[in-house]
Structure 1
Amino acid sequence: MNENHSQILLDSAVAALNSGDSVLGASYLYDLWKHEPSILKSNAIRISHLLTIGGYWDAITSLLPKGTNSLVETGWLNSLTTSRPVNAANQPIPWYTYPSIEFIEPKVKREWNVFEWGSGNSTLWWSQRVNRVISVDHDPEWFRSISNQMPDNVSIKLITDKNSYVQALEQSVSEINGALLDVVVIDGEWRNECAKQAINFLSPEGVIIFDNTDRIMFREGTAHLDTCGLFRIDFYGMIASYLYKNCTSVFMNTPAFLRSGALPSDHRTSLGPTCSQALGE
């Protein structure tokens, strides 16, 4: 394929995608990949997403029983299209693995206080479900883009200094009148150092959510929490906006956390129904 024809295919793909025709756009990209894959390498991940979005999803979903296409009902396809962690209703969800969200959400209590290292859609998700969310972030540009979206029960701070960032958990306790925290989320910068602080202000039945624990770079922090005698459950699975799986680990002081929550047949979360629930079985 000559360079001119490759450019025509690429321009045609962009035009189709911009017009909202993801199927046609993906077909041009696929043709380009077959003949000149090197052209797509510079933006390979996004191209792979566009090829996925360009599948015949309307036809696939229509052939399945209503509400049973999990890629649609969880919002995974929507998140792939928008490049944001959202559900099918375009509502924010955390960037944790889907299985961990399914596990955590039914157990959340309105009176809880939550602290996060790392802010974003998870902050918005928690704010709709708990009493108070305190979140810190290290990225000025990201902080400016999200801080004005937060509701009144969220306190979000920009902290760029490493020591101050790690110690922010201790400082946050004064905002909730010295109460211990029900949830501590490790999902930002300097996670190993944050993990060493996380247990210090955790309530007796509180939980620590440590995202991306499958990364070698976070072995130190994960191992530290293990040595503290916490119970750990690892949730491997897909995440919003991407094609791969990650691991989100939930640490708890006591197995009492496992005894709370609805029965499986009554389970309802922001990620949509199971197949049996959709079918009314």
Structure 2
Amino acid sequence: MLIRYTPGRTGLGEGVRRAARALLYAPTAWRMARDPAYPWINAGAVHCLDRFLAPSMTAFEWGGGRSTFFFASRVARLVTVEHREKWRRRLARELVGQGVANVTLRFAPPGDAKGRPEDRPAVWRQTGYVPGKPEFAAYADAILDFGPDSFDLVSVDGRARVACALNALSRLRPGGLLVLDNSEWEKYAPVFTAASGWPRRDFENGVWRTTIWCRPAGANT
């Protein structure tokens, strides 16, 4: 059971809920305070990824930050896509300042660019998914610049997460992992439908959930 935060709600019951959330979140906050490169996802998922990643691997992520340094220190190459120019510049400075040279930082701001709908994998047609945020089409389609089976890991922790995840399915190598943070939200149900035949693990801490899928050999995307 997850204890969700409800904006605007007040009263004794909500105060208890907030206190419970803070208590459940404390271990993650402690780990993040100790390690600036500790990613903002569930601890179980972090442990799983730490065991999986290897120096020969290639990774892709939507939403840079702590995870960028976590992934970059464990793989050969990382592609990170950001939609906010101010944050992209800050992240670029920090990467240079820490001597991290294996990250390709890409900028895809929201706008009128239609993206690459003709190149989207068949799962879009199979699920009938219609993007709820068309302004992020180019952002979600950034991974389509790479061929099928390009990445050992794809992390979805930014905007337009369903569109990003659907595109990611075909860019993962067999045995590769797809990571979706905040996966408890009902709006991400199309991802679960699209990857219904893939082995999956859910990691919860009582506040939010991180889900990791493994692409099986022969999976159709």
Instruction: Using structure 2 for the length normalisation, give the TM-score.
Output: 0.69
After superposition, the Cα gap between the structure-2 partners of 1:179 and 1:215, relative to the gap in structure 1 and judged at 3 Å, is closer
Asked if residue 142 in structure 1 is aligned to residue 87 in structure 2, the reply is yes
**Residue of structure 2 in register with 1:182 after alignment:** 152
The answer as to 2:194 corresponding to 1:224 is yes
Q: CA deviation at 1:152?
A: 0.8
- Is the counterpart of residue 200 in structure 1 residue 170 in structure 2? yes
CA contact (8 A) 1:213 1:222 kept: no
Amino acid at match of 2:140: V
Aligned to 1:167: 141
Is the 1:119–1:135 contact (alpha carbons within 8 Å) kept by the matching residues of 2? yes
Change (3 A) 1:101 1:160: same
Q: Return closer, same or farther for 1:197/1:101 CA change in 2, 3 Å cut-off.
A: same
Give the alignment partner of residue 133 of structure 1, picking from 50, 74, 78. Answer: 78
Aligned equivalents of 2:182, 2:105: Cα separation in 1: 22
Q: Is the 8 A contact 1:186 1:209 kept in 2?
A: yes
Partner Cα separation in structure 2 for residue 205 and residue 236 of structure 1: 23
Deviation at 1:223, TM superposition (A): 2.2
SS at match of 1:245: coil
After superposition, the C-alpha distances for 1:205-236 in whole angstroms (9 at most, x for unaligned) are 1110111110122122232222xx21111111
Asked if 2 retains the 8 angstrom alpha-carbon contact of 1:210 and 1:249, the reply is: yes
Counterpart secondary structure, 1:251: strand
Contact persistence 1:182–1:206 (CA under 8 A): yes
Any runs of at least 4 consecutive aligned residues in structure 1 with deviations exceeding 6 A, and if so which?
A: none
State whether residues 138 and 165 of structure 1, in contact with CA within 8 Å, keep that contact through their aligned partners in structure 2: yes
Query: 1:145 and 1:103, CA in 2 relative to 1: closer, same or farther beyond 3 A?
Result: same
Deviation at 1:122? 0.1
Q: Is the 8 A contact 2:149 2:170 kept in 1?
A: no
Helix, strand or coil for the counterpart of 1:93? coil
Considering fraction of residues, name the structure with more helix: 1
Q: Give 1:158's aligned amino acid.
A: F
Name which of 103, 116, 120 aligns with 2:65.
120
| Residue 48 (structure 1) shift | 6.5
1:254 and 2:216 are equivalent in the alignment: yes
What amino acid is the match of 1:232?
R
Structure 1 position 183, deviation (Å): 0.3
Q: Which one-letter code corresponds to 1:99 in the other structure?
A: G
How many angstroms does 1:87 deviate by? 5.1
Instruction: Give the alignment's Cα RMSD to 1 decimal.
Output: 2.8
More deviation, 120-129/90-99 = 90-99
Structure 2 residue runs without a partner (length 5+) = 1-9, 111-135
Match 1:108 to one of 53, 57, 60: 53
Distance 1:163 1:96 in 2: 25
Which residue is 1:210 aligned to?
Answer: 180
Is the Cα contact below 8 Å between 1:182 and 1:205 reproduced in 2? yes
Pick closer, same or farther for the CA change 1:253–1:129 going to 2, 3 Å: same
Unaligned runs of 5+ residues in structure 1 are 1-36, 53-70, 80-85, 238-243, 256-281
* Structure 1 contact 192–222 (Cα < 8 Å) conserved: no
- Percent identical among aligned pairs is 22
Shift of 1:115: 0.3
